[in-house]
Structures are given as C-alpha cells and as structure tokens.
Amino acid sequence: MNTATIMNSMTESDTFPINGTDFIEFYVGNAKQASLYYQHCLGFELIAYRGPETGSRDIVSYVVKQGKVVFVLTSALNPNHEILKHVAQHGDGVKVLALWVDNARDAYQKAIERGAESAFEPYKIEDEFGYIIVAAIKTYGETIHTLVERSNYSGPFMPGYRPAKSEVAVKPLGFKYVDHCVGNVELGQMNRWVKFYEEVLGFKLLVTFDDKDISTEYSALMSKVVSNGNGYIKFPINEPANGKKKSQIEEYLDFYKSAGVQHIALETDNILATVEGMRKNGIEFLYVPDNYYEDVLDRVGKIDETIEDLKRLNILVDRDEEGYLLQIFTKPIQDRPTVFFEIIERHGAKSFGKGNFKALFESIEREQELRGNL
Ligand code: FE2
C-alpha cells in the first residue's frame, strides 16, 4: 500500500484534500468464496485477512488488491451482526467507499461542521507497522465514506489484519485504479446528494445528464457527476425518471431496498486484454448488437483499436472534445440485479460515454425483460 501522500492535491474549493480512493468494502454473505471470485475471475491478489485466527471473533474480511484498487470483502459469523443484517436487506453490496486523506481527524471535523452525519468518530489503530486514523461519515442509503489517514503506516492494509497471500497463482488483468463510483438514489433525491457533496466535501458539479440524454423508448434516468478538485474522486449520482416502463434505476432500488452503489468503474490501459481475460474467466458482460459497430467510426473518428476487436469483445467507444474512451459493463456480480463493474480505458476523454447511453440502456432493458422486471 502506498503510504506517501500527494502534494498539492487540494484545490480551493475542497473541504479537505483527498488523495484518491483508499478501499471499497463489500458486505457479502460468504467472504471466503467472494475472495476466490476476485482472485480467480478478476486477477486480484489477496494481501490481508482478519478473522477468528487474528482475534476478530465476529467479522471475517479478505483484502484483495490489483494496481491501486483495494477491495475488502467482509462477512460476519453471528446472524445478529449488523453486517449480516445489511446482507439480508441489500444482498451483497458496497458498504464503504473509503477516501484516502492526509488528516482524518481534521477531515472528519470539517465534514461534520458542514453538515455531514457521523458514521463513527475518529480513532487510532496501531500494530507493528505503525498506525492509522479512521473516521466515517454517512452518504446515500446505508453507504458510508470512511476517511483513512495512513501516512504513518507501512503494513499491507490496516492494523487488525494480518498479511496474507493468494494460495494460487493469480493472473492480474490490468486494473489500475478506480475511475469513478456511481450511486443510485431514489426519485427526487439526486439534487439533495449533489448538494451534499458540494456543501460537505466542496466537490464541483462536473456534468449533468437529463432524461433526454439518457432515455430509450421505455425508460429514462437522470444523472449528475460531482468531483473533487484533483479529479481523483468522481461520483455520478443517478435517479430514475419517468418512462413507459420500469427504469434500470427503479429495478436496482427495488432489489437493493435503498439507495446504494450501482457500479464501480475500473481503469485499464489495455481494455482488449482485460476483457479477453475476464471473459475467459467466466465474467459476463452486457451484450451490444452487431449493428452498433456499423457506423461507430463515423461517430468517433479514428481510434487505435480495430472495429473487429471491439466487436468481438463487445467493447463500446465514445469521443468528447479531449479524446476518446473505450468502455464495457459487466452483468450484475451477485444474484440481485444491483452492483456491477464498468471497465474503462481513457484516451484523453474525461467524459462518461454519453454516446453509448442509448445502446447500453437498450441492452440493460433486454436483461430486465429476461428477469421479468421491465
Ligand atoms: Fe460509469
């Protein structure tokens, strides 16, 4: 784990500097099996563990890492534990979007002064590798932002965890870092959460998509993207909009039972190899019809990849003023149609693939239809 902080990472409007995503924690029904999915299917290395063997009587966590992406897979051993209540309510899902900060006490204090609700107060945890200070604030649904100060820590993850290693050879698939994390919130709540990020964390509104941008014949959604000053943290917030049939956001809310994280976008610098590897390992992606590729070059102009490769792997492409991007979306990664991953490779483009929204949502609707949820 990188312990050095990044200088000049703060711009004027930020409430406190954020150096990037620290970790993302999933509450799951079976952390042991989930950790093997991330190792075998997605090429993550196991780096740390906590459980009864380390003195954690109720909670088991496996920490997996690839590039700068750190996922914590957590379950509980006692049916009355809040973690298993969370799993019963939401299914497997994202509980924590942790932010890497320079000073967790100061960051927490400032966030609370600006109206954040506390999830837990700052405390220090120590082991032979040094110490970490953590605190947390609440965001949409039951999701929280843990603020992690780790400049005085040199261990693989955090005190309370022991270092661990994958028992099998793990083949990394090229994930570099978290590009953005998307939240789905209830009808009429998008602006409330945009305001929260603006007022509490000093984020800026980057872009707005209304239901005219994101609609098909049947369903629609609205989205606003907020970002911190250095752009390392980007949170699009979606809410459903009225359409003829049920939107994908409503389907998510029906099954997640509250607002929550919809997808996590992981950056790769070789999306062809990444997606090829994921497909070989059994990961399923949304299907885009062949006719998507017929006129795509007219829309996006010259790109380095061949259309044949993109078509073979079902990768989407879009262009903005600054460059182009390649992207693809997995099907949901658990039984409920809730959380999924986006894989993205940016060639200068800073946007989110607006040109693909229609093709993408039609593809999602086909899946919803199969589930009987359209
Ligand atoms: Fe995305």
- Mean pLDDT per 10-residue run, the chain (374 residues)? 46 90 98 98 98 97 98 97 98 98 98 98 97 98 98 96 95 98 96 97 92 76 93 95 84 97 98 98 92 88 95 94 96 97 96 85 87 90
Per-residue pLDDT tens over the stretch 242-293: 877 788 899 999 999 999 999 999 999 999 999 999 999 999 999 988 889 9
Helix or strand holding residue 97 (H, E) = strand 93-101
Q: What is the 137 CA–ligand 1 centroid distance (Å)?
A: 23
Q: How far apart are CA 303 and CA 345, in angstroms?
A: 12
Q: Give the strand pairing for 144-149 and 220-227.
A: unpaired
Amino acid 9: pLDDT: 52
The set of residues, in sequence order, having a beta carbon less than 8 Å from that of 190 and lying 6+ positions away, is: 222, 223, 224, 237, 238, 239
Q: How far apart are CA 362 and CA 8, in angstroms?
A: 42
Q: What is the 264 CA–ligand 1 centroid distance (Å)?
A: 7
Confidence (pTM): 0.94
Q: What is the 328 CA–ligand 1 centroid distance (Å)?
A: 9
Calculate the CA 122 to chain-centre distance: 24
The encoded tokens of residue 107 equal: 């960051």
Q: How far apart are CA 104 and CA 315, in angstroms?
A: 39
Q: What is the 332 CA–ligand 1 centroid distance (Å)?
A: 14
Q: How far apart are CA 101 and CA 263, in angstroms?
A: 23
Q: What is the 340 CA–ligand 1 centroid distance (Å)?
A: 10
Q: Which residues pair with 71 in a beta bridge?
A: 24, 64
Residues having C-beta closer than 5 Å to ion ligand 1: 265, 342
Q: Is 193 exposed, middle or buried (0-12, 13-18, 19+ CB in 10 A)?
A: buried
Domain 175-371 indexed as CATH 3.40.50.150: no
Q: Is 286 exposed, middle or buried (0-12, 13-18, 19+ CB in 10 A)?
A: buried
Amino acid 220: pLDDT: 81
* CA dihedral angle for residue 151, residue 155, residue 157, residue 158, rounded to 10 degrees: -80
Calculate the CA 109 to chain-centre distance: 25
Amino acid 7: pLDDT: 44
Q: What is the 355 CA–ligand 1 centroid distance (Å)?
A: 13
Comma-separated ranges of CATH 3.10.180.10 domains in the chain: 3-163, 175-371
Amino acid 10: pLDDT: 62
Q: What is the 177 CA–ligand 1 centroid distance (Å)?
A: 14
Amino acid symbol at 214: I
215-248 burial code (b ≥16 CB/10 A, e <16): bbebbbbbbbbbbbbbebbbbbbbbbbebeebbb
State the alpha helices, DSSP H only, in the chain: 31-40, 82-90, 104-113, 190-201, 248-256, 271-280, 296-300, 307-313, 357-371
Q: What is the 263 CA–ligand 1 centroid distance (Å)?
A: 7
167-188 burial code (b ≥16 CB/10 A, e <16): eeebeebbbbebbbbbbbbbee
Q: What is the 265 CA–ligand 1 centroid distance (Å)?
A: 6
Q: What is the 51 CA–ligand 1 centroid distance (Å)?
A: 33
User: Which of 164, 188, 171 lies closest to 64 in space, CA to CA?
Assistant: 164
Amino acid 2: pLDDT: 42
State the alpha helices, DSSP H only, in 6-145: 31-40, 82-90, 104-113
Over its C-alpha atoms, the chain yields an Rg (Å, rounded) of 20
Architecture category of domain 3-163 in CATH:
Roll (3.10)
The set of residues, in sequence order, having a beta carbon less than 8 Å from that of 217 and lying 6+ positions away, is: 244
List the Cα angle 4/7/10 in 5-degree steps.
120
Q: How far apart are CA 122 and CA 103, in angstroms?
A: 10
Q: What is the 321 CA–ligand 1 centroid distance (Å)?
A: 18
